Amino acid sequence: MLHLLAGNSIALTILLWMVQAWMVQTWVSWYLLGHESRGRYVRAVEIARRDDEGEPPGEAYDRALAYPNRRVPSVDRLDARLDSSLLGLVWPFRTRVRPERVRATLDAIADGLAAPGGGLLRHEGDVYAGGHEWPLVTLWQGLSARALGDGETHRATLAHVVSRRTALDLLPEQVFPDGSPAWVLPLGWSHAMLLCAARAELALLQEHPTDDAGHREHR
């Protein structure tokens, strides 16, 4: 399958930006949400509930929106469920803020989101389409490992996902424990992540490292 990945660097760059466009939506949510009692970053805070069993909503929910929106009767102050989006702390953003907390977050994801047949789940408590292993998340773990210099984990995740391909070299959205497709097939996003993981790191990322505050350095 990997021989199909050679070639168009422009298309690969476009695919990377498609992936990043989704990742950046989650970045603001958890960038500074390190929870002291857990020693790692968490998913989100001030999560809206549909009932009044939580705590009173804060000022953020007092703002009038330009479109119809449900009233938020209460909130959960902290959502500490493990979520694969936290891998974005390392790839592609490569933040250097509190590296020990970043490492603890990645370790928690590797342990807590491990799927029965190998690879990773999307997030804790995921029930979408059965909540099975997501090849693109497994590849995201590998990309994060490579960014930290862990070539062994990167190669292992790549080999695992390639083993999940169909007879037509296609990757699905989700995979059953036996390796068979569990949902949408093919999924372009899975293939985009495979392109990123199977090739050397893009110069786009190599040429723009982050400073100690996690911001992009411009040259």
| pLDDT 10s digits, 24-78 | 444 444 444 555 556 888 888 888 888 999 999 877 777 666 655 677 889 988 8
β-strand partners of 47? 76
Domains: count for the chain: 2
Is the pLDDT at 2 greater than 90? The verdict is no
pTM score, two decimals? 0.75
pLDDT mean over 122-151: 95
The pLDDT value given to residue 18: 55
Indicate if 52 and 123 belong to the same structural domain: no
Between 11 and 193, name the one with better pLDDT: 193
pLDDT mean over 188-196: 94
Indicate if 113 and 202 belong to the same structural domain: yes
The pLDDT value given to residue 214: 47
Q: Exposed/middle/buried for 133, CB within 10 Å: 0-12, 13-18, 19+? A: buried
**Is 91 part of any domain?**
yes
The pLDDT value given to residue 41: 86
Three-state DSSP state, 138: helix
The answer to whether 131 and 119 are in contact (CB under 8 A) is no
Terminal-to-terminal C-alpha distance of the chain:
37
Q: Which residues contact 12 (CB under 8 A, 6 or more apart)?
A: 195, 196, 199, 202
Indicate if 52 and 122 belong to the same structural domain: no
Indicate if 150 and 86 belong to the same structural domain: yes
pLDDT mean over 168-190: 95
Indicate if 158 and 71 belong to the same structural domain: no
**Is 36 part of any domain?**
no
Range of the domain at 51: 44-79
Percent of the chain whose predicted confidence (pLDDT) is above 90: 49
Indicate if 130 and 154 belong to the same structural domain: yes
Indicate if 145 and 100 belong to the same structural domain: yes
Indicate if 117 and 62 belong to the same structural domain: no
Indicate if 138 and 177 belong to the same structural domain: yes
Indicate the pLDDT class of residue 201, thresholds 50, 70 and 90: confident
Indicate if 92 and 167 belong to the same structural domain: yes
Is the pLDDT at 94 greater than 70? The verdict is yes
Indicate if 105 and 24 belong to the same structural domain: yes
Indicate if 27 and 120 belong to the same structural domain: yes
Angstrom distance (rounded) from CA 101 to CA 106: 9
Tokens of 120: 């990773």
